[in-house]
Amino acid sequence: MTEGGVTQALYDKIVRREAQVAVIGLGYVGLPLAVAFAQEGLRVTGIEVDEAKVASVMRGESYIGDVSPQDVAALVAEGKLSATTDYAALAQADAIIICVPTPLSKTRDPDISYIIAAADGIARHFHPGQLIVLESTTYPGTTEEIILPRIAGNGYRVGEDFSLAFSPERIDPGNRRFNVRNTPKVIGGLTPRCLEVAKALYGLIIEQLVPVSNPRTAEMVKLLENTFRAVNIGLINEVALMCARLGIDVWEVIAAATTKPYGFMPFYPGPGLGGHCIPLDPYYLSWKMRTLNYNARFIELAGEINANMPHHVVNMVGDALNAQRKAVRGSRLLILGVAYKANVADVRESPAIDILKLLHDKGALTYYHDPYIPRLDLGAFTLSSSDLSDSLLTAMDCVVIVTAHASYDWERIVRQAALVIDTRNATGALKEGYPHIVKL
């Protein structure tokens, strides 16, 4: 890196582990990141609009399953980690990392209001020499179009007076193998100097850095990753629908195809997409392309197929009950697992929500059990997790497996239930055949 200037001073400060870091947004991305930097000896301040989260951190507690409360408590006690709702704390920061939500509107247009609010807060408390990194998933061009003008508009030169980069988050909640430190980190700096400063910062906590030519490329990397998954899940969901009509077990097909040692990667069908990324991120790219008069057909088609899967599951329930001369209306239906994926306490975009609402609208008596979600607000009504007793299972007309948590005893569940709809092949390993199981 070229000697001299405030960017060099910040680079040296980072290398000496003397830089102060601010993380805007202490959710599933921001809190693990803040903890990792604090564990390397840096002083880290979290900026969070949710007062409950701020209070939790300051009490030394963790509300994120992948972050140890013992780690939070120790770092707060050492003065390495703190949290506040006040953006004025940014004035003391050398590096600022933006980890705010980027939801979609009802029309599936990007809602970047949280990014704009963060950028405005940074601009109010900016001082020369700061590094600013956006991690929130967004459309290509956001870093240059939203963050850059708010700082450079005051006469500051990027790469000289401040550094700017985009580095997409790669957090997989509940993943015990990959975490903040051992997941390769893509970084795109607006200038070569910006990249070097950002690499110095992330290099303190991450084993492998993946530099790319600019922020726009890094933004596209994230969208490709999740669009790849969404499109392939859409494909395998359609294959599952085709197999059902052909009288073929889609799970057997996938297992056999997976034995091919090249040219095939297994994806698995399910009741619909859930989580913070895959159901949403492809639409950022689709929206951006519409502004350029281009129709992202794969994205739109995959989205349509995936969005229809909860309706397909409800139809499966109706058909299976009908075969037993029962109607959905008045039947007692138990949903097993409402989190969007196994072994996490997160219901964002969970297909279980749509399934419960659809069944409720059809007049079913709906119940659910989830060891991670004690209460579920469904808007028009609220449910609490039922005790998964033998008496509950035998009282149900149908049990629908939506999320296959590791704690479930499938043998016991299947033996007690009169009818099982298995959308995850959770019962596939059972040695004994059960004719009352209907698989996706």
> Residue 264, CB half-sphere, CA atoms under 13 Å: how many?
12
User: Which residues are part of the catalytic machinery?
Assistant: 277
- β-strands 375-377, 382-384: how paired? antiparallel
| Structure tokens belonging to residue 87 | 């953006």
Residues 6+ apart with CB under 8 A from 27: 53, 64, 99, 101
Distance between CA atoms of 422 and 275, rounded to whole angstroms?
A: 20
Would you say the CATH fold of 229-439 matches that of 5-213? yes
Residue 342: phi and psi, rounded to 5, are -70, 140
What distance separates the 2 farthest-apart alpha carbons in the chain? 81
User: Which of 313, 233, 316 shows the shortest CA–CA distance to 278?
Assistant: 233
* Coil, strand or helix at 99: coil
Distance between CA atoms of 270 and 127, rounded to whole angstroms?
A: 49
What is the side-by-side strand order in the sheet with 365-369?
Answer: 365-369, 332-336, 398-401, 420-422, 437-439
Q: Where are the domains of the chain?
A: 5-213, 229-439
Q: Where does residue 83 rank: exposed (0-12), middle (13-18), buried (19+ CB within 10 A)?
A: buried
Query: What CATH class does 5-213 carry?
Result: alpha beta
The CATH superfamily of 229-439 is NAD(P)-binding Rossmann-like Domain (3.40.50.720)
| pLDDT per residue as tens, the chain (440 positions) | 444 578 889 999 999 999 999 999 999 999 999 999 999 999 999 999 999 999 999 999 999 988 999 999 999 999 999 999 999 999 999 999 999 999 988 777 889 999 999 999 999 999 999 999 999 999 999 999 999 999 998 899 999 999 999 999 998 888 889 999 999 999 999 999 999 999 999 999 999 999 999 999 999 999 999 999 999 999 999 999 999 999 999 999 999 999 999 999 999 999 999 988 888 899 999 999 999 999 999 999 999 999 999 999 999 999 999 999 999 999 999 999 999 999 999 999 999 999 999 999 999 999 999 999 999 999 889 999 999 999 999 999 999 999 999 999 999 999 999 999 999 999 999 988 899 999 99
